[in-house]
């Protein structure tokens, strides 16, 4: 029941697309992440498939493709309660974990598969899953799939689904490989735009802070991490994410890292610690951040400015989600000033570059109430501690 989960009025994308998706039309939805699109495709997916016979073993009737395992897990979390009501089974398929439980689920028969392309193709190659009975296919974050070089794989997967099936594609942008997918796989799609692809969230305040040098930057980062609210700090590399998370822990600030070198278990522990609010700080890289949907993140800090404007918008989109307000701060060293100005112009963000020192009032204002320091031995499960693996 949606009411019990706080979904009382539909988001614009849901109101816009539901009549068409329920009627079986192909849909091309352009919507920023956080605009409610997961529910926009999950409702018609479950409602329409509930009218079909149960899936035969190894032949799912619904397929959702997502670029990262975090996103696949989150989508499954939205679909599962809806599917349970109509006695449908959902399973996730992605790499980085044992394939055994996934194979077992397929043998028992699952109605809806939420998958990342790589592992799905592996299982297709082994003859453990066939897509010949898929009635509805959803492609989420299609722009990201095209970006990450998944495009040939995604096309192979879509070609294995019946041509007459319903297809829904959601993407923040419709450039690169996305339009080739649209032309090849969608039939006369209805286009819905949740909000223009260029307008960043109104409730999001963007600040650009020029800092004198690395020492000043470290001081500001430590202060911004010290508040009581949820915040995500972005670094350019996995190595920097790990280093920063550990430095914060050393300083008495519980922090988790989310980066590509971690095992799936460590990533899930980190996500759990952050999303339940046991830990207020997540230090993440771009790829890891795709699809993190934690409500109430009040601050995003670009510790290292991103390389391109799409990454800026995606990182920043982790705050001000589903109508809540949030702030975004980009820290800039003097030699990065020009590049960052170009980046913001492309992202259509208006923000003056302010010169800031660690003890300025502007910093205190964004920190809010400072959380109590935590001794290393009292750190919650999942935080990044020195000498290897996270606690847990």
Neighbours of 332 (CB within 10 A): 24
Q: What's the number of CA atoms in the CB half-sphere (13 Å) around residue 45?
A: 36
* pLDDT at 35 > cutoff 80: no
| CB burial of residue 104 (10 Å; 0-12, 13-18, 19+) | exposed
Q: What is the full DSSP assignment across 203-256?
A: TEEEEEEE-SSHHHHHHHHHHHTTBSSEEEEE-SSHHHHHHHHHHHHHTT--EE
- Between CA 389 and CA 392 the distance in angstroms is 9
Tell me if residue 387 falls in helix, strand or coil.
Answer: coil
Q: What is the pLDDT of residue 12?
A: 60
Tell me if residue 79 falls in helix, strand or coil.
Answer: helix
Q: What is the pLDDT of residue 176?
A: 63
Pair 273, 248: CB distance under 8 Å: no
* pLDDT at 37 > cutoff 80: no
Domain ranges of the chain: 3-193, 200-378
Which two three-digit tokens encode residue 231?
Answer: 């915040």
Per-residue model confidence as pLDDT tens digits over 232-274: 999 989 999 999 999 999 999 999 999 888 888 888 889 889 8
User: Mean pLDDT across the chain, nearest whole number?
Assistant: 83
Domains 3-193 and 200-378 share a fold: yes
CATH among 3.40.50.300, 3.30.450.20, 3.40.50.2000, 3.90.1150.10 for 200-378: 3.40.50.300
pTM, two decimal places: 0.54
Per-residue model confidence as pLDDT tens digits over 317-340: 766 554 455 788 999 999 998 888
* pLDDT at 390 > cutoff 80: no
DSSP assigned state of 336: G
- Between CA 339 and CA 153 the distance in angstroms is 34
For the chain, the farthest-separated pair of C-alpha atoms sits apart, in whole angstroms, at 65
pLDDT band of 7, cuts 50, 70, 90:
very low
Which residue matches tokens 């020192």? 357
Please choose, from the candidates 33, 34, 37, the residue with its C-alpha nearest in 3D space to the C-alpha of residue 13: 37
What's the residue count for the chain? 392
- Between CA 292 and CA 318 the distance in angstroms is 7
Please choose, from the candidates 113, 130, 127, 126, the residue with its C-alpha nearest in 3D space to the C-alpha of residue 62: 113
* pLDDT at 229 > cutoff 70: yes
Pair 226, 371: CB distance under 8 Å: yes
- Between CA 298 and CA 99 the distance in angstroms is 37
Higher pLDDT, 10 or 27: 27
Question: What is the Cα Rg of the chain in Å?
Answer: 21
In three-state form (DSSP H/G/I as H, E/B as E, the rest C), the secondary structure along 15-60 is HHHHHHHHCCCCEEEECCCCCCHHHHHHHHHHHHHCCCCCCECCEC
Please choose, from the candidates 75, 154, 63, the residue with its C-alpha nearest in 3D space to the C-alpha of residue 110: 63
DSSP assigned state of 56: B
| CB burial of residue 381 (10 Å; 0-12, 13-18, 19+) | middle
- Between CA 14 and CA 7 the distance in angstroms is 11
| CB burial of residue 288 (10 Å; 0-12, 13-18, 19+) | buried
Q: Which pairing describes strands 90-93 and 230-234: parallel, antiparallel, or unpaired?
A: unpaired
What integer is the mean pLDDT of 93-101? 92
Pair 168, 26: CB distance under 8 Å: yes
Which two three-digit tokens encode residue 270?
Answer: 């980190």
- Between CA 273 and CA 256 the distance in angstroms is 8
- Between CA 183 and CA 64 the distance in angstroms is 19
Per-residue model confidence as pLDDT tens digits over 187-228: 988 887 654 433 444 445 788 899 999 999 999 999 999 998
- Between CA 177 and CA 151 the distance in angstroms is 7
Pair 97, 42: CB distance under 8 Å: no
Pair 109, 56: CB distance under 8 Å: yes
* pLDDT at 3 > cutoff 70: no
Tell me if residue 135 falls in helix, strand or coil.
Answer: coil
What's the fold here for domain 3-193?
Rossmann fold (3.40.50)
Higher pLDDT, 235 or 380: 235
Phi, then psi, of 258 in degrees rounded to 5: -140, 105
């Amino acid at each position: 029941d949606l009411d019990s989960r706080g979904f009382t009025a539909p988001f614009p994308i849901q109101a816009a697309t539901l009549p068409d998706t329920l009627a079986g039309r192909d849909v091309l939805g352009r919507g920023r992440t956080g605009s409610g699109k997961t529910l926009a495709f999950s409702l018609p997916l479950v409602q329409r498939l509930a009218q079909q016979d149960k899936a035969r073993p190894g032949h799912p009737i619904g397929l959702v493709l997502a670029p990262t395992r975090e996103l696949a897990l989150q989508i499954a979390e939205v679909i599962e309660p809806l599917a349970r009501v109509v006695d449908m089974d959902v399973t996730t398929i992605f790499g980085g974990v044992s394939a055994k439980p996934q194979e077992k689920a397929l043998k028992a028969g699952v109605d809806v598969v939420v998958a990342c392309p790589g592992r799905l193709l592996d299982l297709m190659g082994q003859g453990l899953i066939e897509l010949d009975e898929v009635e509805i296919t959803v492609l989420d974050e299609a722009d990201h799939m095209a970006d990450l070089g998944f495009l040939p794989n995604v096309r192979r997967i879509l070609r294995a689904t019946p041509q007459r099936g319903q297809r829904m594609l959601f993407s923040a942008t419709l450039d690169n490989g996305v339009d080739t997918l649209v032309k090849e796989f969608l039939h006369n799609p209805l286009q819905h735009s949740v909000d223009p692809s260029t307008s960043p969230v109104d409730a999001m305040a963007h600040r650009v802070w020029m800092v004198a040098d690395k020492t000043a930057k470290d001081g500001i980062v430590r202060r911004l991490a010290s508040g009581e609210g949820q915040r995500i700090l972005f670094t350019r590399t996995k190595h920097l994410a790990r280093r920063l998370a550990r430095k914060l822990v050393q300083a008495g600030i519980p922090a988790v890292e989310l980066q590509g070198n971690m095992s799936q278990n460590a990533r899930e522990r980190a996500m759990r610690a952050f999303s339940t609010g046991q830990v207020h700080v997540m230090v993440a890289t771009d790829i890891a951040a795709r699809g993190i949907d934690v409500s109430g993140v009040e601050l995003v800090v670009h510790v290292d400015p991103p390389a391109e404007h799409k990454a800026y918008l995606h990182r920043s989109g982790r705050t001000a989600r589903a109508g809540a307000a949030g702030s975004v701060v980009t820290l800039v060293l003097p030699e990065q000033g020009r590049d960052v100005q170009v980046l913001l112009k492309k992202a259509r963000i208006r923000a003056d570059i302010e010169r800031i020192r660690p003890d300025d009032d502007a910093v205190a204002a964004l920190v809010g109430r400072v959380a109590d320091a935590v001794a290393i031995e009292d750190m919650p499960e999942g935080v990044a501690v020195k000498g290897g693996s996270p606690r847990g």
